[in-house]
């Protein structure tokens, strides 16, 4: 059985985790608009901005936001490229 091809991590690997860490550094809840504005301010890669823009409207505690972002990453097939968030 052939081994799947190696897909190297991007330079932005873990950047979304750092973004979420900073987003929740001083807040318990964040709404999707705050997350999108902060993502622009944080100067995330274009592909990561696309992931953040996939957030449905609403107010998120950290675990729910992480689930939403991880679902979007998986749907795009980008979990190995960018990592997942907690």
Which pair of structure tokens corresponds to residue 38? 């902060």
Residue 80 pLDDT level (bands cut at 50, 70, 90): confident
1-54 confidence digits (pLDDT tens): 555 555 567 778 889 999 999 999 999 999 999 999 999 999 899 999 999 999
pLDDT, residue 7, reads: 59
Prediction pTM value: 0.86
């Amino acid at each position: 059985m052939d081994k799947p091809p190696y897909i190297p991590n991007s330079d932005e690997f873990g950047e979304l985790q750092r973004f979420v860490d900073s987003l929740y550094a001083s807040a318990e809840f964040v709404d999707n608009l705050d997350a999108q504005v902060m993502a622009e301010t944080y100067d995330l890669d274009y592909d990561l901005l696309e992931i953040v823009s996939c957030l449905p409207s609403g107010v998120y505690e950290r675990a729910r936001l992480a689930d939403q972002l991880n679902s979007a990453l998986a749907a795009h097939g980008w979990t190995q490229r960018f990592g997942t968030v907690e």
